[in-house]
Amino acid sequence: MSYDHVSRRDLLAGALSLTGAAALSGRTARAAGPLQVVVTQGISGLTLEQMAVDAGFFKKFGVDLELTQVSDGTKCVAALLSGSADVCAWSGFNQLMPAIEKGAMIKLLAGALTLPSLCMYSAKPEIRSVKDLNGKSIGTGSPGSVLYQMTMLLLKKSGIDPAGVVFRNIGSNSDIFRAIAAKTVDAGLSDVDVYDQQAQFGVHALPDGLLWKRIPEYTNQATYASDAAIATKRDAIVRVLAAWAAAYRFVSGPRSRDAFVRARATVVGKDERDHAISQWTWIQKNQPYDKNLLLSDRQIDYVQQVNVDFHIQQKVLPVAQVADMSLARDALKLVG
């Protein structure tokens, strides 16, 4: 297994716009070699992946894969449609259904991080709740991204008119956190790995901004693949799903703490035990990972309806058009 931390040139060239999805949908998956897996950048997912490596789950299920990181879910979709990647692991999937609506041949395969692991932080002492964000600047991802949608959903649930807020496209949740700590934005969503170190960074989480409590119905991440990869590499995809299911089950249990701490240190290149234990404790308490892989029709349709409400998708598509859970069911048979 190898890690490519920089996007391949052919992964992105001419493939970033989802308006070209239909034109890309006829590409074929790579016929041989390791399974090409694309992921969005993020310490949480990479820590889980490193745990799976350390625990031998990929070896157990006979998986050989190469991992490539990209900045957002749109680039994951582009990579699958261009044939540069076979599977996207643990990424937001709201951009998937609009691509399918435009003709992309791609399917949701399994759940991953089901609950949102983000909360609204601020370094401004006068901001104590989400309702205080009216007229303030909020760091988000690009319009239409999962971060952007979650921010909008939280504001609307809190009775805040988004028109009265200044949105700034900062990038990933890590980038947003740095902007919050630097006070270049008033607030924004970031990960729970710093939840127990708020004083250290001079920030505070808004009590009514904990997304796993405020919008638990919004499925955070999933795994998906192109139809071409499903047709030509089904067995390899089933086995990698089995390895991830084993990892989800392991990290969700009490014996995984030390392994999680070691894996996170490997990923970030230094020992950040406090951050690691904070994140691990949140996982134990909230059980966010989809240990049985299967996404329900309700989960899929909820994200679709949000897309429709945000005018990035015309209508809710039939689940059979956007998802194929048969590979997850086959993977569960291997896991036992």
Per residue in 66-112, pLDDT (tens digit) is: 999 887 788 899 999 999 999 999 888 999 999 999 999 999 999 99
* pLDDT at 31 > cutoff 60: no
**For range 249-268, the mean pLDDT:** 96
Number of domains present in the structure of the chain: 2
pLDDT of residue 2: 43
* pLDDT at 7 > cutoff 70: no
- Statement to judge: residues 269 and 328 lie in one domain: yes
Q: Take residue 334 and report the two structure tokens written for it.
A: 């291997």
- Statement to judge: residues 148 and 165 lie in one domain: yes
CA distances from 332 to 129, 240, 293 (A): 42, 11, 8
**pLDDT by residue (tens digit) across 160-211?**
999 999 999 998 888 999 999 999 999 999 988 788 889 999 999 999 999 9
Last residue of a domain, one of 187, 214, 241: 214
- Statement to judge: residues 78 and 197 lie in one domain: no
In the 3-class helix/strand/coil scheme, how is the chain assigned residue by residue? CEEECCCCHHHHCCCCCHHHHHHHCCCCCCCCCCEEEEEECCHHHHHHHHHHHHHCHHHHCCCCEEEEEECCHHHHHHHHHHCCCCEEEEECCCCHHHHHHCCCCEEEEEECECCCCEEEEECCCCCCCHHHHCCCEEEECCCCCHHHHHHHHHHHHCCCCHHHCEEEECCCHHHHHHHHHCCCCCEEEEEHHHHHHHHHHCCEEEEEEEHHHHCCCCCCCEEEEEHHHHHHCHHHHHHHHHHHHHHHHHHCCHHHHHHHHHHHHHHHCCCCHHHHHHHHHHHHHHCCECCCCCCCHHHHHHHHHHHHHCCCCCCCCCHHHHECCHHHHHHHHHHC
- Statement to judge: residues 123 and 96 lie in one domain: no
Last residue of a domain, one of 199, 214, 229: 214
- Statement to judge: residues 11 and 84 lie in one domain: yes
- Statement to judge: residues 20 and 131 lie in one domain: no
**pLDDT by residue (tens digit) across 218-239?**
999 999 999 999 999 999 999 9
- Statement to judge: residues 239 and 172 lie in one domain: no
- Statement to judge: residues 17 and 52 lie in one domain: yes
- Statement to judge: residues 153 and 302 lie in one domain: no
Q: Take residue 84 and report the two structure tokens written for it.
A: 């540069």
The single-letter code of the amino acid at 278 is S
* pLDDT at 282 > cutoff 50: yes
Between residues 104 and 21, the one the model is more confident about: 104
- Statement to judge: residues 6 and 102 lie in one domain: yes
Q: How confident is the model at residue 143 (pLDDT cuts 50, 70, 90)?
A: confident
Q: Which of 47, 48, 52, 88 is nearest to 67 (CA)?
A: 88
**For range 264-281, the mean pLDDT:** 91
Between residues 280 and 143, the one the model is more confident about: 280
As a whole number of angstroms, the distance between CA 74 and CA 17 comes to 8
- Statement to judge: residues 233 and 197 lie in one domain: no
| CATH number of 136's domain | 3.40.190.10
- Statement to judge: residues 198 and 309 lie in one domain: no
Percentage of the chain lying above the pLDDT 90 cut: 76
Q: How confident is the model at residue 20 (pLDDT cuts 50, 70, 90)?
A: very low
Q: Which domain holds residue 324?
A: 2-115+218-335
pTM: 0.86
The two beta strands, 35-40 and 65-70, are: parallel
Last residue of a domain, one of 158, 181, 214: 214
pLDDT of residue 32: 61
